[in-house]
Amino acid sequence: MSNATTTWETQVTVGLDLGDRYCQICVLDEAGEVTEEGRVATKPEALHRRFSGTDPLRIVLEAGTHSPWVSRLLSAWGHEVIVANPRKLRLIYQNDSKSDRVDAEYLARVGRLDPALLSPLTHRGPETQADLALVRSRNVLVRARTRLVSHARGTTKSLGGRLPACASDAFVRKAGPCVPEELTPALAPVLAMIANLSEEIRALDEKIEEMAKERYPETALLAQVPGVGTLTATVYVLTVQDPERFPRSRAVGSYLGLRPRQADSGALSPQLRITKAGDEHLRWLLVGAAHYILGPFGPDSDLRRWGLKLAEPGGKRGKKRAVVAVARKLSVLLLRLWQTGEVYEPLRNARLRGEVMTAADTVHI
> What is the domain range of residue 189?
126-215
Backbone angles phi, psi at 299, to 5 degrees: -70, 160
Q: Is residue 71 situated within a structural domain? A: yes
DSSP 326-362: HHHHHHHHHHHHHHH-PPP-TTHHHHHTTS---GGG-
- DSSP designation for 196: H
Q: Which of 95, 118, 141 is the last residue of a domain?
A: 118
**Cβ pair 297, 329 in contact under 8 A:** no
pLDDT digits (tens, 9 = 90+) for 124-181: 889 999 999 999 999 999 999 999 999 999 999 999 999 999 999 999 999 999 999 9
End residue of a domain, out of 65, 94, 118: 118
Pairing of strands 80-84, 22-28: unpaired
Q: Are both 228 and 353 inside the same structural domain?
A: yes
Are 57 and 167 found together in one domain?
A: no
pTM beyond cutoff 0.85: no
| CB neighbourhood size of 330 (10 A) | 26
Same domain, 331 and 231: yes
Alpha helices in the chain (DSSP H): 44-51, 67-76, 90-93, 100-113, 126-157, 171-175, 184-215, 219-222, 230-240, 251-255, 280-294, 302-311, 315-340, 348-352
The CATH number for 89's domain is 3.30.420.40
**What is the pLDDT at residue 76?**
95
Same domain, 135 and 73: no
The number of distinct structural domains making up the chain is: 3
Is 95 found in the same domain as 35? yes
Counting beta carbons within 10 angstroms of the beta carbon of residue 291, is it exposed (0 to 12), middle (13 to 18) or buried (19 or more)?
middle
Mean pLDDT by 10 residues, the chain (365 residues): 46 94 95 94 96 94 94 95 86 73 92 88 90 96 97 95 94 94 95 97 97 96 96 96 90 90 61 81 96 95 94 82 94 96 90 54 45
> Which one-letter amino acid corresponds to residue 171?
F
Give 80's contacts (C-beta < 8 A, 6+ positions apart).
2, 3, 4, 5, 6, 56, 57, 58, 59
Verify that 262 and 339 share a domain, yes or no: yes
Residue at which a domain ends, from 163, 186, 215: 215
40 forms bridges with which residues in the sheet?
A: 23
pLDDT confidence of residue 364: 45
Query: Is residue 307 in a domain?
Result: yes
- For residues 276 and 330, membership in a common domain is answered with yes
Residue 261: Cβ within 10 Å count: 13
Same domain, 340 and 225: yes
Amino acid at 150: S
In a domain? residue 23: yes
Judgement on whether residues 179 and 232 belong to the same structural domain of the protein: no
How many other CB atoms sit within 10 Å of the CB of residue 265?
A: 8
Query: Does some domain include residue 67?
Result: yes
pLDDT at residue 93, rounded to an integer: 63
**CA 63 → CA 69, 85, 100, 118, distances in Å?**
11, 6, 15, 11
Helix 126-157 vs helix 230-240: crossing angle, to nearest 10: 140
The answer on 186 and 154 residing in a single domain is: yes
Q: Is residue 4 part of a domain?
A: no
User: What pLDDT shows up at residue 122?
Assistant: 86
210 and 149 together in one domain: yes
Residues 332, 228 share a domain: yes
Looking at the domain assignment, is residue 3 inside a domain? no
**5 in a domain, yes or no?**
no
Q: Specify the long-range contacts of residues 140-147, CB closer than 8 Å, at least 24 apart.
A: 141/197, 141/200, 141/201, 141/204, 142/168, 142/201, 144/197, 145/194, 145/197, 145/198, 145/201
How big is the chain by its Cα radius of gyration, in Å? 25
Tens of pLDDT, residue by residue over 20-48, are 999 999 999 999 999 999 999 999 999 99
3-state secondary structure of 94: coil
146 touches 168 (CB < 8 A): yes
265 forms beta bridges with 268
Q: Classify 260 as helix, strand or coil.
A: strand
